[in-house]
Amino acid sequence: MCLQNLLNAFRKILIVIFCTSFLYGCGDSNTFKEQDSQPAAQEQPVSNDPEPDADSAPDSDSPNNDLDTDSSGDDNSSVFLGSGNDNDNDDDNDDDNDGVSNNNDECPNTLSGVEVASDGCADSDGDGSSDNKDDDDDNDGVNDDDDACDNTVAGATDFDGDGCDDANDDDDDNDGVNDGDDDCDNTVTGAADFDNDGCDDANDDDDDNDGVNDDDDACDNTVLGATDFDKDGCDDANDDDDDNDGVNDDDDACDNTVLGATDFDKDGCDDANDDDDDNDGVNDGDDACDNTELGATDFDNDGCDDANDDDDDNDGVNDGNDACDDTTLGALDTDGDGCDDANDDDDDNDGVNDENDKCPNTPINEPDLDQDGCGDETQDDDSDGDGVDDSNDDCPNTPSGATDFDNDGCDDANDDDDDNDGVNDDDDDCDNTEIGATDFDNDGCDDANDDDDDNDGVNDDADSCDDTVLGATDFDSDGCDDANDDDDDNDGVNDDDDACDDTPLNTNVADNGCTDTDDDGVDDDADACDDTVLGATDFDNDGCDDANDDDDDNDGVDDDADTCDDTPLNTNVADNGCTDTDDDGVDDDADACDDTVAGAADFDNDGCDDANDDDDDNDGVNDDEDACDDTVTGAADFDSDGCDDANDDDDDNDGVNDDDDACDDTPLNTNVADNGCTDTDDDGVDDDADACDDTVLGATDFDNDGCDDANDDDDDNDGVDDDADTCDDTPLNTNVADNGCTDTDDDGVDDDADACDDTVAGAADFDNDGCDDANDDDDDNDGVNDDEDACDDTVTGAADFDGDGCDDANDDDDDNDGVNDDDDDCDDTTLDATDTDNDGCDDVNDDDDDNDGVNDDDDKCPNTPENEPDLDQDGCGDDTQDDDTDGDGVDDSNDNCPDTPSGATDFDNDGCD
């Protein structure tokens, strides 16, 4: 804008110079000549001139004459001013000859020919206001500050009224589209233009600029760039079928499915956007088999059908090694052998049948020193059987007369380190090593007696690296750690050329070092039947030997699920892969009627038509003895008597009619009281009312109180209920804390948490933390060390606002703000709380946050920075908060004089005093 104004001024100067040089060629004949309409006799002196002539000001030729007189003496002179008139006076009252006397001329040196206002200064638009006082030099209605063209010729076309005539305006209609790119450069301001392309919608063939003509566009107001998944011209927000699959979006779970995309379970969502591709209820992220056929058997519900699951019951034991591959998930399996305890004759796998085992749940490999059948670590109170309880026995595992090599008082059988060489006997091959002998691998055997000094599994005589650091990786166990071994897996292929340098030892490998089971030169990953051997059995003659064929008899049932994997070809089979002659879904071995005629009535769908079925409803009760031979399969029958519970007067068959039975679901063959509820010890009182209702002879009773531990709420009789007892095996008559653990000094703090577990009874302990004050670094437990605590006897829980160790009642400065409470109006000010005026009260509790004398409720700007000027005294800081600094009603951004003091004289009310 400044450059444009400078160019305009320069242009005016050139015009003036030009006109001055060629005076008779500029303007009309009246531009620079006097046009007196009266004779000189009627002129009045300049001081009293009422300006009766047509001049806008008195003549400047003479102070007493407003009439030019040329050489002809004609009062109506036609001679131009400044043209050398012989009658011009040297005493000129209008130096620049602009028609304004010097006394009234604010610009006495205006160039000749320039049109001026009454103050003698240039007036470009002739509106009577000089340019230096005119906000609109070209009088086009656009303020010069906002006018890119402030010298627009009057009357020039300006379509958008922005101050620039169209010839000099790059955007005639001011629609934001340059005329060179605007097909409609005369768009009316404010006219609707949906796609902002410069053409109003009434004149635009494609209102939304989506490439579809409005006449053919069902959605002609689609927002540019809006998502249109199926490219049908309607954005998704306004399209009832986003993916154009014929399913309305309201009914479509996946409304962005790409046409033709894979959808395994045919649920309408393509697999790429389906969290469960096979619809088996297992999320794909957790599903090892995400293409399981719908309805396939999956015992453990892990998402893999049993035919493709190596561990059908998910018990951690592979089906090939699992004697019980249908163990219920979560069932107790003490010895981890894959059979849950309910189906395992030896739950703890100790070789003693559960019926004869005093402790049938002994943890695996737990020692039993005295061979009494109970594990020493968890079940036997006297491990060595010496008559002394382990809790009082320093060496509870010492047999009488046992050897003690290192003479430490514990026999070797119970000494974790017999030779006291720092190596536990379990890890010590030489547990009688002399102290101080050299032992490179620290395995407990001195080198002189160690065949493998570096403990790498290779005998020193055959070990080329007998100083391999203990623990270094040696995959092929050849005595050299992998970092120094060129062939880590010893397969004959150098590691640099070996794509699989961890192939198991003695495995056939291809040239790339990867496993080649059938040794045909192709590694298994690239070999379809990688273990086919010449002459190997191939039952179905499909080219893959049975060992590598998932379906040996080609009957459509995977071998893992096929009970009969040698069924003759082209034979009807049931789901288990066994022959089903009548193709009724029941294999012949399980089908009492393997020739049932198709369509014959079969109520229980067991393969035998009812006419030939002794148990029509398959409830286990022969029809001749079944009072309810039409019980619906699956109907609840608690006692399995053939009648479903809804039609059975005694659901649990305990001899008590359901109407009188408080517990009608008592397990079969259970002792019950008269009310039908369990009475384990058969004493006539139901278990709920019996304190020790299942005490059995020989049952464990830790505290010998007559109730076995399983039914004792306080096993160690220490007064703490087992549910709250962290240590429920505390020796009898031992002091305990509230958590049931040993408290030697009986101070209420258990020894594990007691820094001073030998505090003398009665010693002063202010904070009751178990340490007497003499030995406590923080007597009042307030987190402030006594050496730094001015108040080391602060009562626990007492209010201490500033956390300085002194409770507020004894603290002269509660909020630690350096102001004594007696002088502090706000003695609970939070440290670091905002305090705008730094008066000691945080803003939340200060009625005048900026201390400007105006209450915050009435203060327009309650957070005015301290010492910030406020010219108009309106309470808002001039620098950062006040848009009208001088309060004159003109916003600073539009105010030529934004700092005018209040009350200053402003004659023309333009905001400047």
Q: How far apart are CA 34 and CA 59, in angstroms?
A: 8
- Give whichever of 37-51, 476-490, 661-675 has the largest mean pLDDT: 661-675
Q: pLDDT tens digits, residue range 517-533?
A: 877 677 888 766 777 77
Q: Residue 49 has what pLDDT? A: 39
Residue 389 has pLDDT above 50, yes or no: yes
Number of domains present in the structure of the chain:
2
Region 224-249: mean pLDDT is 79
Strand partners, 515: 509
CB neighbours of 697 closer than 8 A, spacing ≥ 6?
none
Q: How far apart are CA 633 and CA 642, in angstroms?
A: 11
CB neighbours of 401 closer than 8 A, spacing ≥ 6?
none
Q: Residue 59 has what pLDDT? A: 42
**Hey, what long-range contacts does 1-4 have (CB within 8 A, 24 or more apart)?**
1/144, 1/145, 1/147, 1/148, 4/148, 4/149, 4/150
Pair (384, 351) in one structural domain? yes
For residue 736, give the 3-state DSSP assignment.
Answer: strand
Is residue 508 within 8 Å of residue 517, measured between CB atoms? yes
Pair (407, 377) in one structural domain? no
408 in any annotated domain:
yes
Q: How far apart are CA 767 and CA 495, in angstroms?
A: 68
Residue 1 has pLDDT above 70, yes or no: no
Residue 76 has pLDDT above 50, yes or no: no
Region 462-488: mean pLDDT is 80
- What is the full DSSP assignment across 26-91? SS-TTSSB----S-GGG---TTT----SS-SS--SSBTTB-----TT--SS--SBTTS--TT--SS
Region 670-698: mean pLDDT is 78
Q: pLDDT tens digits, residue range 127-156?
A: 778 888 777 777 777 787 877 787 777 678
CA 423 to chain centroid, in Å, comes to 48
Q: Residue 81 has what pLDDT? A: 35
For residue 722, give the 3-state DSSP assignment.
Answer: helix
Q: Residue 71 has what pLDDT? A: 37
Region 744-769: mean pLDDT is 82
How far is CA 284 from each of CA 273, 312, 469, 601, 721, rounded to the nearest angstrom? 11, 19, 45, 42, 47
- Going by pLDDT thresholds of 50, 70 and 90, the confidence category of residue 197 is confident
Residue 61 has pLDDT above 50, yes or no: no
Residue 419 has pLDDT above 60, yes or no: yes
438 in any annotated domain:
yes
Tell the burial category of 407 from Cβ atoms under 10 Å away from its Cβ (0-12, 13-18, 19+): exposed
Is residue 119 within 8 Å of residue 106, measured between CB atoms? yes
Look up the domain containing 444 and give its range. 403-450
Strand partners, 742: 736
356 in any annotated domain:
yes
Residue 237 has pLDDT above 90, yes or no: no
116 in any annotated domain:
no
Q: How far apart are CA 758 and CA 740, in angstroms?
A: 18
Is residue 275 within 8 Å of residue 284, measured between CB atoms? yes
674 in any annotated domain:
no
For residue 272, give the 3-state DSSP assignment.
Answer: helix
Percent of the chain with pLDDT over 70: 85
Q: Which of 47-56, 269-278, 895-904 has the lowest mean pLDDT?
A: 47-56
Higher-confidence residue of 72 and 903: namely 903
Q: Residue 408 has what pLDDT? A: 63
The structure tokens listed for 668 are: 């079969």
Pair (352, 381) in one structural domain? yes
Q: Residue 401 has what pLDDT? A: 64
Q: pLDDT tens digits, residue range 501-511?
A: 899 988 888 89
Q: State pTM to two decimals.
A: 0.21
Is residue 892 within 8 Å of residue 880, measured between CB atoms? no
Higher-confidence residue of 522 and 440: namely 440
Residue from 856, 900, 858, 857 nearest 878 by CA: 900
Higher-confidence residue of 409 and 844: namely 844
For residue 341, give the 3-state DSSP assignment.
Answer: helix
**Hey, what long-range contacts does 381-387 have (CB within 8 A, 24 or more apart)?**
384/414
Pair (381, 353) in one structural domain? yes
Percent of the chain with pLDDT over 90: 6
Q: Which of 498-512, 604-618, 691-705, 740-754 has the lowest mean pLDDT?
A: 691-705
| Start-to-end C-alpha separation, the chain | 27
Higher-confidence residue of 829 and 24: namely 829
Q: How far apart are CA 131 and CA 128, in angstroms?
A: 9
How far is CA 652 from each of CA 641, 660, 679, rounded to the nearest angstrom? 9, 12, 15
Region 350-376: mean pLDDT is 77
470 in any annotated domain:
no
- Going by pLDDT thresholds of 50, 70 and 90, the confidence category of residue 745 is confident
Q: Which of 5-9, 433-437, 845-849 has the lowest mean pLDDT?
A: 5-9
Q: How far apart are CA 362 and CA 367, in angstroms?
A: 9
DSSP 8-state symbol, 715: T
Q: pLDDT tens digits, residue range 15-50?
A: 444 444 443 333 333 333 333 333 333 333 333 333
The structure tokens listed for 308 are: 């493709």
Q: What is the greatest pairwise CA distance in the chain?
A: 164
CB neighbours of 809 closer than 8 A, spacing ≥ 6?
798, 799
Higher-confidence residue of 627 and 46: namely 627
Q: Residue 543 has what pLDDT? A: 57
- The radius of gyration of the chain from alpha carbons, rounded to an integer in Å, stands at 55
- Going by pLDDT thresholds of 50, 70 and 90, the confidence category of residue 400 is low
Q: What is the mean pLDDT of the chain?
A: 76
Q: Residue 356 has what pLDDT? A: 80
The structure tokens listed for 661 are: 């039975």
Residue from 573, 602, 571 nearest 586 by CA: 573
Residue 723 has pLDDT above 90, yes or no: yes
DSSP 8-state symbol, 654: S
Residue from 515, 533, 534 nearest 525 by CA: 515
Tell the burial category of 805 from Cβ atoms under 10 Å away from its Cβ (0-12, 13-18, 19+): buried
Q: pLDDT tens digits, residue range 853-902?
A: 778 888 888 888 877 888 877 778 888 878 888 878 788 888 888 888 76
Q: How far apart are CA 601 and CA 612, in angstroms?
A: 10
Main-chain phi, psi angles of 152, to 5 degrees:
-65, 135
Q: Residue 675 has what pLDDT? A: 92
Higher-confidence residue of 173 and 155: namely 173
Is residue 803 within 8 Å of residue 797, measured between CB atoms? no
Pair (408, 379) in one structural domain? no
364 in any annotated domain:
yes
Is residue 280 within 8 Å of residue 303, measured between CB atoms? yes
Tell the burial category of 282 from Cβ atoms under 10 Å away from its Cβ (0-12, 13-18, 19+): buried
Number of Cβ atoms within 10 Å of the Cβ of 759: 22
Q: Residue 576 has what pLDDT? A: 92
Q: Residue 660 has what pLDDT? A: 92
386 in any annotated domain:
yes
For residue 573, give the 3-state DSSP assignment.
Answer: strand
The structure tokens listed for 46 are: 């300049």
Q: Residue 26 has what pLDDT? A: 37
Region 407-423: mean pLDDT is 75
CB neighbours of 497 closer than 8 A, spacing ≥ 6?
512, 513
Place of tokens 């409803």: 617
Main-chain phi, psi angles of 742, to 5 degrees:
-55, 135
Residue from 716, 731, 743, 733 nearest 388 by CA: 731
Q: Residue 724 has what pLDDT? A: 92
